[in-house]
A = this chain, B = another copy of it.
Amino acid sequence: MSGSVRLYEVSLRDGLQNEPVVVPLEQKLSILNGLVSAGFTDIEVTSFVRPRWVPQLADASALMSQLPKTDDVRYWALVPNQRGLERGLEVGVQNVATFLSASETHNLKNVNRTIKESVAGLQSVLQTATAEGLGIRGYISCVFGCPYEGDVDVEKTIDLAHAVLDGGADEVALGDTTGMGHPEQVKRVLMRIVDSGISLDKIALHFHDTRGTALANVYAAWQLGARSFDGSISGVGGCPYAAGAAGNACIQDLIHLFDRMEISSGVDLERACHVGAHLEGALGRSLPGRYHQYWQGSRDRKAVKSA
């Protein structure tokens, strides 16, 4: 093995938040146990957003109270604002993720605030979280393109990344929210961020595979020295109401890529695939991840052979 990477798993939050099916708490806990046993060290499990906005995650407090006990995993919860953070703290959240967008239009559509208002609101969240000794991640959305605005100025991302880190965050996750990024752009953005004085060990990459570029983007970022990558089991996420709108980078694709490159992710590919089969059953739809589909196909062939 030549080095290692850290994979940050987002199925239960980013993966489920747009699903038409509400996955029951027991199913989520079963999936979570699968993720833990596969070896993930960072799992984003829910969001303390208003339950009526995202009914899929309305069980956030209950879920947080029943997390598998282990010292090997950091559990993360998204907190959209101070109220969300307080709800998290009530149930002992230890790692929180905040978010805002590098695109003004996307930020307005997402949270009905300007970026400036979001940055101002974030300060108290970061202060409280820092005072409570929490791990803090700051997502920046639409870094590699915005469905409303198209290209997004990298200076916006750099300003926000500094604001988030200066406010106390441990890391910044750069989001390719709708899968518009390409590998040469990923390199340019990361080089500009490094030039601005931010070390790559503070940066995670959150790609979506909408147009097939996620793994090429991961590889480009890895080449530059990035070592932290987000993904979801079997690529769950995105907007499943519309056929073909793919979700997050399929985390099995990432595990397999790094396995083949002899870089340790610490995650067992086969176990991750079993979680994918379970998740597909829970959602009642097939999931798009490429390795997931390959693995399911191999399994079906074996079943046919032994039948």
The reply on A67 being an interface residue by CB < 8 A is no
Asked if A246 CB lies within 8 Å of chain B CBs, one says: yes
Q: Give residues 281-307 of A contacting B (CB, 8 Å).
A: 288-298, 300-301
Contact of A253 among B211, B260, B294 (CB under 8 A): B211
Say whether A242 contacts B211, CB under 8 Å: no
Inter-subunit contact B244/A298 (CB<8 Å): yes
Task: Let me know if B211 and A256 touch, CB within 8 A.
Answer: yes
Residue of B whose beta carbon sits closest to that of A249: B212
Contacting B at CB under 8 A, from A250-266, are 250, 253, 256-257, 260-261
Number of identical monomers bound together in the oligomeric complex: 2
Question: Contacts of A243 on B, CB cut-off 8 Å?
Answer: 293, 296-297, 300
Inter-chain contact A294/B250, CB cutoff 8 Å:
no
CA distance A209 to B288 in the complex (A): 13
Pull 29 A–B residue pairs with CB atoms less than 8 Å apart, ordered by A. Answer: A179-B294, A185-B260, A211-B253, A211-B256, A211-B290, A211-B291, A211-B294, A212-B215, A212-B250, A212-B257, A212-B289, A212-B291, A213-B253, A213-B256, A213-B260, A216-B218, A216-B219, A216-B257, A219-B219, A242-B301, A243-B293, A243-B296, A243-B300, A244-B292, A244-B293, A244-B296, A244-B297, A245-B297, A288-B293
